[in-house]
Amino acid sequence: YACRKTLADSRPRVRGRFAKNDDFGDATRTHHFEDDDE
């Protein structure tokens, strides 16, 4: 869990999509791609 929290904390939160801890894994990839596109 600590590792995931660290990674999550390091990841930039886009539009508050990184709020869910349950789906943070999928949300990270999704918002990461969106951020890259923008």
Sign of the Cα torsion 32, 33, 36, 38 reads: negative
Is a pLDDT exceeding 60 seen at residue 5?
A: yes
Helix axes 2-10, 24-37, angle to 10 degrees: 20
pLDDT of residue 31: 47
Task: Indicate whether this model's pTM tops 0.85.
Answer: no
Residue 25 CB partners (closer than 8 Å, separation 6+): 4
Is a pLDDT exceeding 50 seen at residue 38?
A: no
Q: What is the overall mean pLDDT for the chain?
A: 59
SS3 label, residue 15: coil
